[in-house]
Amino acid sequence: MTMPMYVSPEQLMKDRADYARKGISRGRAAVACTYSEGVLLCAENPSKTLRKAGEIYDKIGFMGVGKYSEFDQLRIAGIRHADLKGYSFSRNDVDARWLANQYAQILGQYFTHEMKPLEVEMIVAEIGDSQVDDQLFHLLYDGTVMDTSSFVVIGGEAELIRDRIQETWKAGSSLEESIKVTTKALSGPDKTFSSDELEVAILSRGNGRRAFTRIEGDELNELLA
């Protein structure tokens, strides 16, 4: 009988983390930030069908980068969880914090117990009654969860884009300003994105019960101009 080769836990975790990070950094970046009316979700994404941003519940949105099949499965699980919770209790009982914790559990579970970690990085966004209640949860491949009320950058070149946003971003900006700041940060100084290369969605307090809407086509062109 051959003995399995010994690998130290530190090395094992490091290898897994490197593997996940490599997978995530291959993809394009996505940004979520708060603005005066809610939360803006913005990503570089030329596809009109394989989406990064999605609606989870009335006031909750989702954004994922990395391996599409993996974060999409988690997005759907989030919708299922939220709809089930809203059905068995009340629509008001569904909140993003609980969902973010559930995601963290799953990601942590995969990271330590499965053959390979999930190559995903995600944002769960929730808007409240006023700007101070808006929240962004940032989830890493290993189950780390962080929350903020300003902005989060995920995906490839996240560090660089984060620095760019840091310079120009202001709390409580209008939608138009926020879109300009985020798209400029995503594209960098030497390039400009057209509306076809972007996926933009908002969770807005002005949208009624279901806060999530996509901004596309002419509407997006106007805001980018």
Partner 1 sequence: MTLPIFTPPEDPGPSFLGLLRKVGFEGSVPEKIENNNSITHGTTIVAIRYSDGVLMAGDRRATSGHLISHRTMEKVFPADAFSGVGISGAAGPAMEMVRLFQLQLEHYEKVEGSPLSLEGKANQLSLMLKGNFPAAMQGLGVVPIFAGYEEKTDQGRLFQFDITGGRYEEKDFVSTGSGSLHASTVVKLRHSSSVGLSEAIDIALEALLEASEEDSATGGPDLLRGIFPVIAKIDANGFERISDEELEGRTEIIVQSISERGNS
67 binds partner 1 (CB under 8 A): no
Least Cα distance to 173 among 128, 221, 134, 216 occurs for 134
Asked if 42 and 31 count as a contact pair (C-beta separation under 8 A), the reply is yes
Position of tokens 């009316």? 37
Least Cα distance to 158 among 17, 29, 21 occurs for 29
Integer angstrom CA distances of residue 99 from 61, 85, 136 = 11, 11, 12
- Please, which of residues 11-50 interact with partner 1 by CB under 8 A? 49
83 binds partner 1 (CB under 8 A): yes
95 binds partner 1 (CB under 8 A): no
Residues 105-134: x where in contact with partner 1 by CB under 8 A, - otherwise, as a string? xx----------------------------
What contacts 92, CB < 8 A, 6 or more positions away?
A: none
Burial of 21 (0-12, 13-18, 19+ CB in 10 A): middle
Residues 151-190: x where in contact with partner 1 by CB under 8 A, - otherwise, as a string? ----------------------------------------
- Closer Cβ to partner 1, 52 or 184, answer by number: 52
Write down the least CB distance from residue 92 to partner 1, Å. Answer: 15
66 binds partner 1 (CB under 8 A): no
**14, 26, 87, 160: residue in contact with partner 1 (rule CB under 8 A):** 87
Query: What is the binding site for partner 1 (CB under 8 A)?
Result: 49, 51, 54-56, 73, 76-81, 83-88, 102-103, 105-106, 210
